């Protein structure tokens, strides 16, 4: 296998989003975006209890992209204007196709708040092409026991979306996209296959790994790598117990305008999104 060359690496700087602190490797000074991936927020771990719940996001709108939550640990409840009320647990995913507009709210479940524990996850913004920005919205969710996995010598690759070594993800995507959990024990190793027409990124959630026998990623420091699509994939070797999110997608290569919770191709379109939201055209959340 000819490895994809590493294009760039980034650390995971902390930012404040209202009252909560989270890591934001994309967009950052080094990596503005990794088409089709526009934003990656790593939130938590937050200690959740009856006395403290910093991650309770009330109803808010989206249009023109796919906001996706990969839950690392804890329990999280989703509600939306389509009438969906779902709970995901550690390893689960909620995959929203906002299309022409959706309202949703998310936060730890009442049961999780009652018993207490740590909540941690990743929110990813995946762009939609112009032809699908105004499609009907959709919601998918899956817990980890519904996902196919590939056992490695010292680890496991879990297929969330896309395909790897003949195994398919349970999530159906609007554009060609792969999304995998990669869990490695100390001295574990994985060879990830990436289609030649897709750009890829690797985000380290915990631990320390060496990519392509050359670049070291360390949690809390240089934690994200992007790749040129000039090979068949890349290799990952762990120096300690590590967890990663592997993403790849076919670049959309269209103008991107991100304003608040909307992602369109022009400012005229994002301004119209604000008007449509204010006029109630994105539904309501009871």
In a domain, 286, yes or no: no
Pairing of strands 242-249, 199-206: antiparallel
Range of the domain at 225: 6-278
Q: What is the pTM of this model?
A: 0.96
Q: Which two tokens stand for residue 254?
A: 């269209």
Give the pLDDT score at 156: 98
Question: Under 8 Å CB-to-CB from 102, ≥6 apart: which residues?
Answer: 61, 62, 63, 80, 81, 82, 96, 137, 139, 282, 283
In a domain, 1, yes or no: no
In a domain, 283, yes or no: no
Give the pLDDT score at 19: 78
Domain count, the chain: 1
Give the pLDDT score at 198: 95
Under 8 Å between Cβ of 224 and 12: yes
Mind listing the pLDDT tens digit of every residue in the chain (286 residues)? Answer: 789 999 999 988 889 887 789 999 999 988 999 999 999 999 999 999 999 888 888 899 999 999 999 999 999 999 999 999 999 999 999 999 999 999 999 999 999 999 999 999 999 999 999 999 999 999 999 999 999 999 999 999 999 999 999 999 999 999 999 999 999 999 999 999 999 999 999 999 999 999 999 999 998 788 999 999 899 999 999 999 999 999 999 999 999 999 999 999 999 999 999 999 999 999 998 7
Q: Of 202, 194, 262, nearest to 226 (Cα)? A: 202
Under 8 Å between Cβ of 16 and 222: no
In a domain, 68, yes or no: yes
In a domain, 147, yes or no: yes
In a domain, 251, yes or no: yes
Give the pLDDT score at 20: 85
What letter would DSSP give residue 231?
S
Under 8 Å between Cβ of 158 and 181: yes
Taken in order 140, 144, 145, 147, is the CA torsion positive or negative? positive
Query: Tokens 């790897």 — which residue?
Result: 164
Give the pLDDT score at 5: 94
In a domain, 24, yes or no: yes
- The CATH number linked to 246 is 2.60.120.10
Phi-psi region of 95 (alpha: psi -120 to 50; beta: other; left: phi over 0): beta
**Burial (CB count within 10 angstroms: exposed 0-12, middle 13-18, buried 19+), residue 114:** exposed
Give the pLDDT score at 87: 96
Give the pLDDT score at 280: 96
In a domain, 284, yes or no: no
Under 8 Å between Cβ of 138 and 172: no
């Amino acid at each position: 296998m000819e490895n994809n060359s590493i294009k760039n690496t980034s650390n995971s700087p902390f930012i404040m989003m209202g009252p909560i602190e989270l890591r934001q490797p994309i967009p950052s000074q080094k990596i503005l975006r990794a088409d089709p991936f526009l934003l990656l927020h790593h939130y938590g771990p937050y200690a959740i209890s009856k006395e403290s719940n910093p991650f309770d996001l009330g109803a808010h709108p989206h249009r023109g992209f796919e906001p996706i939550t990969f839950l690392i640990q804890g329990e999280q409840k989703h509600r939306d204007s389509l009438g969906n009320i779902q709970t995901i647990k550690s390893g689960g995913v909620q995959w929203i196709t906002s299309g022409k507009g959706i309202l949703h709210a998310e936060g730890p479940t009442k049961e999780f708040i009652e018993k207490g524990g740590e909540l941690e996850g990743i929110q990813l913004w995946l762009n939609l092409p112009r032809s699908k920005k105004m499609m009907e919205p959709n919601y998918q969710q899956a817990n980890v026991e519904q996902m196919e996995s590939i056992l490695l010598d010292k680890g496991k690759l879990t297929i969330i979306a896309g395909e790897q070594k003949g195994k398919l993800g349970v999530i159906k995507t609007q554009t060609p996209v792969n999304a995998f959990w990669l869990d490695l024990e100390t001295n574990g190793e994985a060879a990830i296959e990436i289609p030649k027409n897709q750009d890829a990124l690797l985000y380290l959630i915990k631990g320390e790994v060496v990519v392509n026998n050359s670049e070291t990623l360390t949690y809390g420091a240089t934690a994200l790598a992007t790749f040129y699509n000039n090979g068949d994939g890349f290799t990952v070797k762990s120096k300690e117990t590590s967890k990663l999110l592997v993403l790849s997608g076919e670049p959309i290569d269209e103008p991107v305008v991100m304003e608040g919770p909307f992602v369109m191709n022009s400012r005229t379109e994002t301004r119209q999104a604000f008007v449509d939201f204010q006029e109630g055209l994105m539904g309501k959340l009871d």
